[in-house]
């Protein structure tokens, strides 16, 4: 049987790096990308250096994937940046950056992946939302809004791509100890964790567990869904 072709964005570190290792280990061919170069390598892993919001580079990546593998089975839109700041003192440049990477990046990868997947009449797309949206966290207005846009995109795309047998779902992790939250004071993080039904930090395996479910071939009746970790709703 052919190895699944899995594309993951934002693989330089954190969840993206973990997912690359995890799916390579599970026998996938993983294509990853990040804005800067990586200091690690894996067999069956191919890396692209690009900005996920740059249309030309994204289309070029998909052209390379098509030439080399002819298809993509799974796309995991993990790349994201956060910004913690009171809305009143958030510079517009930060808003643009967050929206570009989080929303536009996700959109471009969904669009190009969707095009390639229609040919195969098969595909699984997994996007990343956040518990910051339903928890309405102060200081995360822009980040939470950018992820709310991703949730909306996921739900509409699920309908648009359903005729092509492509599912589009989302996962909303709780805080996991990665670089994304390293700059946030510990007491703030603790207060956040206390608002979850299950009061602990998320772990990488919590994320891959949900993604495994979404990309399972048997999950062809699961689309437009979003699962928040930790019992947040």
Partner 1 sequence: MKNKIEKLILNAANELNILLDHKLEIEQKSECKLYGQGGVLDSISLVTLIVKVEEKIEDEFKSSIILADEKAMSQRRSPFLTVGTLSAYIESLLNAEVVYG
Which residues contact partner 1 by CB under 8 A? 56, 59-60, 63, 66, 115, 118-119, 163-164
Please report how close the Cβ of residue 109 comes to partner 1 at its closest, in angstroms: 15
CB-wise, 56 or 86, nearer to partner 1? 56
104 neighbors 145 (Cβ within 8 angstroms): no
Q: HSE of 71 in the Cβ direction (CA atoms, 13 Å)?
A: 15
CB-wise, 163 or 185, nearer to partner 1? 163
Please report how close the Cβ of residue 67 comes to partner 1 at its closest, in angstroms: 9
Please report how close the Cβ of residue 136 comes to partner 1 at its closest, in angstroms: 34
CB-wise, 46 or 66, nearer to partner 1? 66
47 has which bridge partners? 32
Tokens matching residue 190:
């603790």
Please report how close the Cβ of residue 107 comes to partner 1 at its closest, in angstroms: 13
Q: How far is CA 52 from CA 24, 57, 105, in A?
A: 22, 8, 5
Please report how close the Cβ of residue 175 comes to partner 1 at its closest, in angstroms: 38
Q: Any idea of the CA torsion for 87, 88, 90, 92, to the nearest 10 degrees?
A: 110
Sign of CA dihedral 79, 35, 103, 148: positive
CB-wise, 43 or 163, nearer to partner 1? 163
CB-wise, 164 or 213, nearer to partner 1? 164
């Amino acid at each position: 049987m052919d190895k699944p072709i899995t594309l993951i964005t934002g693989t330089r570190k954190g969840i993206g790096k973990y997912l690359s290792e995890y799916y390579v280990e599970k026998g996938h061919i993983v294509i990853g990308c990040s804005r800067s170069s990586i200091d690690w390598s894996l067999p069956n892993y191919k890396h692209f250096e690009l900005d996920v919001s740059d249309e030309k580079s994204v289309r070029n990546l998909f052209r390379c994937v098509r030439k080399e593998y002819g298809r993509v089975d799974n796309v995991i839109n993990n790349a994201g940046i956060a910004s913690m700041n009171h809305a009143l003192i958030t510079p517009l440049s930060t808003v643009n950056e967050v929206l570009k990477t989080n929303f536009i990046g996700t959109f471009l990868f969904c669009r190009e992946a969707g095009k390639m997947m229609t040919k195969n009449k098969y595909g699984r797309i997994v996007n990343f939302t956040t518990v910051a949206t339903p928890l309405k966290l102060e200081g995360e207005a822009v980040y939470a809004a950018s992820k709310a846009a991703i949730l909306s995109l996921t739900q509409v795309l699920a309908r648009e791509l359903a005729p092509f047998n492509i599912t589009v779902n989302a996962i909303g992790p709780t805080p996991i100890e990665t670089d994304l939250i390293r700059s946030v004071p510990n007491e703030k993080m603790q207060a956040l964790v206390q608002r979850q039904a299950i009061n602990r930090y998320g772990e990488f395996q919590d994320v891959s567990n949900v993604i495994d479910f979404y990309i399972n071939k048997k999950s062809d009746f699961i689309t437009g869904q979003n699962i928040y970790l930790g019992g947040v709703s």
